A and B are shown apart, each in its own frame.
Chain A
Amino acid sequence: MTLELREVVVRRGAFRLAADLEVAADGVTVVFGPSGSGKSSLLATIAGLSRLEAGSLSLHGHLLEDTRKAVRVPAHARGIGLVFQDARLFPHLTVRGNLEYAEHRRPAARNAPIVIEIARRLEFEDLLDRPVRNLSGGERSRIALARAIVSAPELLLLDEPFAALDGRRRRDFLALLRELSNEQSLPMVVVTHSIDDAAELANDVIAMRGGRVIACGAAAAVMSRPEFAGLLDRRDLGARLPAAAVAGGAVEGVWVRADSVLLASERPRGISARHVWEGRVDAITREDARGVLVSLATEAGYVLSRITPEALADLQLEQGKQAWAVVKAHAL
């Protein structure tokens, strides 16, 4: 399923979104960028909640909106679901009523789990007959996701679905999203500003800044681009490794922060760290008086490490020289 935006311009108040992109939109596509970069606006545009000022938008070769041809398929006829950050449960209905609202409007030809099944899966079975008042943030997120799944859209957009969750719940939710996407063959576009979520979920990435799409494509390619690093906090600088490199299991990849990678000039022995990768120094970048970024091409992929200038001198690292990257399992 290809999602295509051509020369799209959308204005919302003083904010202007300009996007020109094409993504495979199979599996999970992550929209990544700092807050205010236009991630939510992009979702609203795809869903049909914001009108295009210019450009065209199509899904799977089916034209949804084109200002030049005066085509506009309204939101309710697009078959695109959207899970809002604030859940937006209907206050006049029970939890079950919210799910049935979606179920009753689902085209007969589309398959989706029945209400009780998805409620069991997302662990809110016991809430089904409650009003939606007084639910916790996490409960609301799960119910909003369930409502969207029951609606069986062709594409599901999720705006910061993990915002109300923390720790373990967040990891479970992440894994569940991937599972649901696979099982229901439901492509998802997920907005997040967490680099860890992005690395774990994404097959493809749309990187945004200041209302513009700055990179778009396969996660491995986009997340290693220099302009992608520009979206990150200093603390978050690092590199994406494919999940296979760290036996990650249910995730697509992991984000390895430069601050959590040690470098060694000889093969380390007798240490507790679970990940030791041999490689060659690819690039050395001086950040400031206190930090140097060393990029290492290893068998697992490119790894970034931040070391002090003193350490760089001690190890006598230079481009092309052999070195080892060491990462604690718990840092991943």
Chain B
Amino acid sequence: MLTPDELQILSTSLGVAGRAVLFSLPVAIAFAWALSRPRFPGKSVVDTIAHLPLVLPPVLVGYLLLLGLGAQSPIGGWLKSSFGVQLAFTAEGAAIATAVMAFPLMVRAIRLSFEATDPGLFEAASVLRAGPWDRFWSMTLPLAWPGVLAGAVTAFAAGLGEFGAVITFASNVEGETQTLPLAINAALNTPGRDDVAFRLALISLAAAITGLVLAEMLQRWARRRLEA
């Protein structure tokens, strides 16, 4: 059904999006938790940082990553000399660029889930001797778990389609950073490869729809669970 080339592109895409979700999930949970707190100094700063990728042009995000983590930058240089890790122009770099772009989506879904939880339940837990850290693991996360999952799935589906930030930071390296949208773009720019672009577009569409449906199902499950 799929050609070896298409399989390669799909697996690159899935790998990049999957790693992007893994990278951003813990950070997104921390941000979402902080933003679901009633009020604290610096909340608007945290809020702005969490939403920034939503309004910045993706190319700019890629460029900023290049400036911050590229081989010429202090951090990029240090990573390369100390660990031999290069981010720019690699699959890891593509995953980081994707993670940054998908971050606001994930924070939003998780935060809504945190905010939908009845605060009375946390009071009930604390009079049963559960401290704040205990409550986070035994109440906050399990109660919000479906929302966290839905956020991850949405971010994953969106990550499959990330273009601007990836091509700027990780470039279009076949078998390494060439994800679906990058491959579609390459095919469109090559005369006579319109049918290749079309097939890739169909694959991309199917993946995106599957992700959205899955996320919606998870969100519905979440609501049912919290309605007890």
Contact = CB atoms under 8 A, between A and B. Distances in A.
Q: Answer yes or no: do A and B interact.
A: yes
Interface of A: 47-49, 74-77, 79-82, 84, 86, 88-92, 101-102, 105-107, 131-133, 147-148, 151, 153
A133 B127 contact: no
Given A49-B123, A91-B228, A131-B228, A77 B128 contact: no
16 contacts: A49-B123, A49-B126, A75-B127, A76-B126, A76-B128, A76-B132, A88-B124, A90-B124, A91-B121, A92-B145, A101-B125, A101-B138, A102-B128, A105-B130, A105-B134, A153-B127
B52 interface: no
B37 interface: no
B228 A133 contact: yes
A82 B127 contact: yes
B143 A151 contact: no
Interface in B118-162: 118, 120-121, 123-132, 134, 138-139, 142-143, 145
B228 A151 contact: no
Contacts, number: 73
Contact of B123 (A75, A102, A107): A75
B128 A88 contact: no
B123 A77 contact: no
A88 B126 contact: no
Instruction: Please name the 10 residue pairs, one residue from A and one from B, whose CB atoms are nearest each other, closest first.
Output: A91-B228, A88-B124, A105-B129, A75-B126, A82-B127, A76-B126, A133-B228, A102-B128, A76-B131, A92-B142
Contacts of B125: 90, 101
A102 B126 CA distance: 10
Interface in B82-97: none
Contacts of B142: 92
Contact of B131 (A49, A74, A148): A74
Contact of B226 (A74, A84, A91): A91
Q: Which of B123, B129, B132, B143 has the most CB of A within 10 A?
A: B129
Contacts of B130: 76, 101, 105
Contact of B225 (A91, A102, A147): A91
A75 B125 CA distance: 10
Contacts of B138: 101
A72 B127 CA distance: 15
B132 to A, nearest CB: 8
A221 B140 CA distance: 46
Nearest to A151: B128
Nearest to B123: A49
Contacts of B145: 92
Contacts of B132: 76
B127 A49 contact: yes
A74 B126 contact: yes
A84 B120 contact: yes
Contact of A84 (B124, B227, B228): B124
B128 A81 contact: yes
B211 to A, nearest CB: 25
B39 to A, nearest CB: 15
A48 B139 CA distance: 19
Nearest to A102: B128
A151 B120 contact: no
A90 B131 contact: no
B127 A81 contact: yes
A86 B225 contact: no
B116 to A, nearest CB: 12
A92 B128 CA distance: 16
Contacts of A147: 128
Contacts of A89: 228
Contacts of A75: 123, 126-127
A101 B127 CA distance: 11
A91 B221 CA distance: 13
Q: Which of B125, B128, B228 has the most CB of A within 10 A?
A: B128
A75 B123 CA distance: 8
Contacts of B120: 84, 86, 88
Interface string B101-126: 00000000000000000101101111
Nearest to A131: B228
Contact of B128 (A48, A49, A86, A101): A101
